[in-house]
Amino acid sequence: MSKRQRLMDQDWGISSSSEDTSSDEEEEKPALPPSGLFQLPFEILSNIFVLSCNPQLPVACRFFYNHLYYAPNTTKLAFLLYRAHQNPQQALEDGIKFAFFDMDLLTRFDRLIQNVSLKDKKIPARLFLEEPKSTLEERDNIILALLERGASPNRPKGFPLIKSAQLGRLDQVKRLISFGADPAIRNNMALRVCAARNNREMVNYFLDELKVKPDSETLKACVQKNLWEMIQVLVDHGAVPDMSTIDFT
């Protein structure tokens, strides 16, 4: 054991054996040879990834991450098809749930499946998140492509519309509405979240163009934040305060 190590041990109250203190340097253990797995070429590694059907393999260690996480889409497509027992439709439905799914992969599935149908399938929630902004355009393109192939603008429980309204994404809200999203889903929750954030443009869209009737819960949310101008807008469009709303004033 080195002198520096002995001093560090003393600082932490660690006692050293007489054998440790008899020598200034500890005999170093021979380094183990690298695992044979780490010496395999990418072609074999990618085949292991595909045949394992394990989406966690690319993040198991730095070596796998460097070689598999950014593998070409041909490898990812083979992975999705193999775990779906070579059923392209099932592979697509499973594939959209993965973060690596992109427009290029969707185009590849279009070539495999004559009539791609995602009727009433959920659009992954990650596509509607604010971050990372660097992938926003790509995610918007995927959302549109999935909607065009029949994916639900409402599932689950109105999340696509409500989240888009919360983030102030009027363009996304209009897109979802054009594909049949229910503007009043979950008791006007989309209107409530944008009103509580004082987003006048979004609120006007819901009230004037979509004819959503504001309720007392939306009023209450605005009263709690002292948004008096927004409260007046809601009242002008028919919102009626109840006793619980008045209690907040």
Query: Considering only CA atoms, which of 140, 144, 74 is closest in space to residue 105?
Result: 74
| Two tokens, residue 219 | 């009023």
Q: In angstroms, rounded to a whole number, what is the distance separating the alpha carbons of residues 75 and 228?
A: 56
pLDDT of residue 64: 86
pLDDT of residue 244: 67
Q: In angstroms, rounded to a whole number, what is the distance separating the alpha carbons of residues 125 and 139?
A: 11
Q: In angstroms, rounded to a whole number, what is the distance separating the alpha carbons of residues 165 and 130?
A: 12
In sequence order, the 6+-apart residues with CB closer than 8 A to the CB of 5 are 26
pLDDT of residue 248: 57
| Two tokens, residue 121 | 């399938």
pLDDT of residue 41: 87
Residue 156 burial class via C-beta count within 10 angstroms: exposed 0-12, middle 13-18, buried 19 and up: exposed
Q: In angstroms, rounded to a whole number, what is the distance separating the alpha carbons of residues 160 and 125?
A: 7
Whether pTM exceeds 0.75 = yes
pLDDT of residue 7: 44
List the alpha helices (DSSP H) in the chain: 3-11, 18-21, 42-52, 62-64, 73-83, 88-95, 103-112, 136-148, 159-166, 170-178, 185-196, 200-204, 216-224, 228-236, 243-247
Cα angle at 249 between 163 and 200, to 5 degrees? 35
Instruction: Profile the chain (249 residues) by mean pLDDT over runs of 10 residues.
Output: 50 46 55 68 90 90 85 96 97 96 97 93 97 95 98 98 98 99 98 98 98 96 95 96 68
